[in-house]
Structure 1
């Protein structure tokens, strides 16, 4: 089986990725885990299973290649493993705990954690962040039980562990989880000035008009470029509601105008979306007028949230930004949105 380093070099040679010394510096830790989880386990009635190797907490700014390294690492594994976005995983955990409560289970985390550890030997989380108090309250115990059962956790994050759930409600209750991460996982920073995701967008067109087959083809091309065509659904919970993004991968989300603005969503939904994704592809924005005034208002709110969070926006629309909303109530106020849309297409936009 190929080592993590061998797989990285093969992809460099194939032109799939560009060598980056900061990425190369992370390969030994990933290889350490790969080698350890593939060691044969000694069997015997009185032989105790060895403790799992330390996991890895890989953190750094967006576009540094953390998710790419995660995917590469998982591709080298020949043991049961699961690669999943952290938000999606926590949604599953909450659903599982809810089902256990309905059955009258006293400690609802135990059976949920056991189900996870029985299924996989390696859990690979992408984009770990804690923004919800309910996640903060359970993640420490969940990690502890999964690790105790022999499962190794590898995760990426934009934040150093000490900054997780920073300024959150009752944050002191989350501090043991931070201590667990620092004790049971190697914390490695990807400190680089190179933003590979932004580099792929330098000089690229990010606004396609008019709507039609050509725009759809171009949006699909950009999606393939940014994600390699990989996709999973991402479901965000906001104030008890669920906001589902049909296509998501490595910080890049793709949805239609009506997915985002055709439903009764509000500022809280868009703020949660803006803090979760780094690139948002919005397809088929129509002409806006009094006939779709509510959808237009939501679109304005969405763009404001994305603008403030410095999210990169790629979209297809019926017309240029300044011609999208030329008549009807709200058309005058839309001038600011049009201006922001123009600015958001400029080179170097985004965090």
Structure 2
């Protein structure tokens, strides 16, 4: 990223004459060097930001330090969770699984000491689950650790499976023999990271659901310790999903290796955060949204070493073209992002290519626009987890963006899909959330909460810290 701090003083003065005072405030969010005062708000993904010169802290000490400094409010529910995380932190002090060897790969699982139980932390949106997990993660000083969004992790697993199967097929010189690709993948993952912290543990994809028991059985047998956050209790994972009966055994595996802890204070701290004084979410009926979006795009382009032009991203062998980009800024539309058949891997690539994404013309979403709604939920989840900045124009305010009414269970697409899957009315799979829309209704609360936080000045400042 070309930082404004590298631009000459002369150019800065010219820009200040061109853009009004509200735009300059956004400019300060963009470049901390122009900010007149340091924010004291919490950095969700780097809880040790203000304590990097201190001795190593444990989770309880770090939480108390942030409460004392005023970065966090005292919350008895969060303190109870930290007590549980503290126990895991203590148990990890003298634990490390044995590394994989050729012998163990050929003749059996590794002989490791009993691994500590992890934690599966669930609760309503915005209660601080991710913040507490990141606080715990920052306190763990072992080198072989990983913090990852669960959806990104599973994308990586499927990529590994695909690549390993290609290697096996190329090496076959006789009749193919049965080979379980999950075990070597789990071995490789555990050799890289034996403490894995999963954010947003959720299962909506049947391809994920069908391999989770085997994958996590192998990971746990390799000594991996798991910390996870989720909006759902483990018993409700993949609720009403296709072929859920094949998924249910995974829940026991998860519970055997993770203590289930609830965080539900009834407070959504994201919606409590003050929205920045600079508007980056425009309701089309209340303002000239396109003109405001144009002005912000022009300002952002002035800080990029590029021209305005189309850009094509190559994603898993497919070319995905966006019409209007400039450096690491993209000016796009809801239709371009969510009406095309794009998925999580596309949005992940998008989040790596751009630091600011302008999304125009977001409509009121409903189950009648189910595919588009699913993509929008996935898009916001991915951008939020990667701290990508967004500027949005929409038909309604954030809290009115989704209507749960309007579901048509007799939709032709649903009947065709049921026929293709040989699902009959009244069967277990006929009530799957792929047809009822239950998952979208449940997930959109999280989307609204995240969109609210993404409008704050503090969120905008986090991109530089994350990168």
TM-score (norm 2): 0.51
**Structure 2 residue 126 is the aligned partner of structure 1 residue 23:** no
> How many pairs were matched up?
275
- Distance across 1 between alignment mates of 2:94 and 2:453: 48
Q: Deviations over 1:7-32 (max 9, x none)?
A: 11111122222121111001122111
Matching of residues 79-94 of structure 1 within 5 Å: 79=142, 80-94=144-158
Once the two structures are TM-superposed, the CA of residue 141 in structure 1 deviates from its matched residue by: 1.3
CA distance 1:276–1:189, shift in 2 (3 Å): farther
Matching of residues 1-351 of structure 1 within 5 Å: 1-39=56-94, 49-79=112-142, 80-104=144-168, 106-201=179-274, 207-208=281-282, 210-211=292-293, 242-245=345-348, 246-247=350-351, 255-257=357-359, 267-274=370-377, 277=380, 282-283=390-391, 285=393, 306-308=401-403, 309-310=444-445, 311-312=447-448, 313=451
- Aligned residue for 1:83, secondary structure, equals strand
- Distance across 1 between alignment mates of 2:92 and 2:299: 42
The answer on whether the counterparts of 2:62 and 2:135 sit within 8 Å (CA) in structure 1 is yes
- Aligned residue for 2:391, secondary structure, equals strand
Question: 5+ residue gaps in structure 1?
Answer: 219-235, 286-298, 317-351
- Aligned residue for 1:50, secondary structure, equals coil
RMSD (Å), alpha carbons: 4.0
TM-score (norm 1): 0.67
What corresponds to 1:329 in structure 2? none
Once the two structures are TM-superposed, the CA of residue 275 in structure 1 deviates from its matched residue by: 6.2
Q: Which has the higher contact order (CA 8 A, sep 6+)?
A: 2
Question: 5+ residue gaps in structure 2?
Answer: 1-55, 99-109, 170-178, 283-288, 301-337, 364-368, 404-443, 455-467
- Distance across 1 between alignment mates of 2:258 and 2:220: 10
Structure with higher Rg: it is 2
The answer on whether the counterparts of 1:207 and 1:314 sit within 8 Å (CA) in structure 2 is no
Once the two structures are TM-superposed, the CA of residue 207 in structure 1 deviates from its matched residue by: 2.8
- Distance across 2 between alignment mates of 1:256 and 1:200: 22
CA distance 1:136–1:31, shift in 2 (3 Å): same
- Aligned residue for 1:256, secondary structure, equals strand
Q: Deviations over 1:254-300 (max 9, x none)?
A: 73227999xxxx85243243267479764265xxxxxxxxxxxxx87
Once the two structures are TM-superposed, the CA of residue 97 in structure 1 deviates from its matched residue by: 0.4
